Amino acid sequence: MNYNLKSIEAIMPPPHFHMVGDGFRVHNFFPSQPGIGLTGMSPFFLLDYGSKWLVPPSNTPRGVGVHPHRGFETVTIAYHGKVAHHDSAGNSGVIGEGDVQWMTAGAGVLHKEYHEKEFSKKGGIFQMAQIWVNLPAKYKMTPVKYQAIENKDMTKVPLDDKESVIEIIAGVYDGKKGPAFTFSPVSLFNAKLISGAKACFTFKKSFNTGMLVIEGEIKVNNSKIAPENNFILFGHNEEDVVLEASENSVVLILSGEPINEPIASSGPFVMNTEAEIKQAYEDYNNGKFGYLAD
């Protein structure tokens, strides 16, 4: 089969980690990395990747205390370990291994997240990714909502080898649609490939496309090797991507239609103008995001 292969713009090793709160050790691939910045992966604004980390047992769960969000969505994907979360709208739950929490912060919410209590007591391997998906201007102030997507509810497309599978969180693969509702065209998949397996993907030229090797090693477009914990950034010249697993591998795949609007961001807020950022801080300080105990 002939493919029109996308160019590989970069294969990026993980930047040095930093701590978010005392529970999340993450590598920020964007917006902090040159070559991607604020818009290079739009509509995805941020990718914080927590590579495998052995968390020691603790009776006091580690995590991030109460903080606000406005103007975007957070997508948290659990690979190892569990996270408990609460918000000022009365929502709470646990993100288990293989599951996804898709939170639309929209008009504003207070949120906190910690290692789940039993996981914290035992300790163990922790590995997660959190993505911020920007919202178009007309949806910035949409009401807060959650999509708790358990692994059993994801659409799963087996590949020809019958052991590899594409898990669809959002978007469409091979004519099958994922469960997540999105405000703009977004594809978000986990490709779980056995050694030697091949998977092919097609995304529009205009879409921003990137992939993160969660586990294993991947040969990309029959040419370059992407090791574990590396991010692959693609160009806009063609539509196809071919992955071949050098060993049993997991790859997080992101592609989406750019939101070509101004971006103003500050801390936990992603808006379109500095005036909107100022208003977000005022609303937060005036208690308009509700209340959530530490």
Domain boundaries, the chain: 8-280
Residue 1 above 80 pLDDT? no
CB 19 within 8 A of CB 25: yes
pLDDT for residue 294: 86
Q: What's the pLDDT tens digit per position in 6-45?
A: 999 999 999 999 999 999 999 999 999 989 999 999 999 9
pTM exceeds 0.75: yes
Q: How far is CA 10 from the centre of its chain?
A: 19
Average pLDDT, the chain: 97
The stretches of the chain forming alpha helices (DSSP H) are 117-122, 274-285
Phi, psi of 153 (to 5 degrees): -95, -5
Question: Residue 108 and residue 68: Cα distance in Å, rounded?
Answer: 7
Residue 192 above 90 pLDDT? yes
Cα end-to-end distance, the chain, whole Å: 56
Question: Residue 209 and residue 10: Cα distance in Å, rounded?
Answer: 12
- Could you tell me which of 220, 214, 203, 213 has the C-alpha nearest to residue 256? 203
Banded pLDDT at 2 (limits 50, 70, 90): confident
Q: Whats the size of the chain, residue-wise?
A: 294
Looking at domain 8-280, which CATH architecture does it have? Sandwich (2.60)
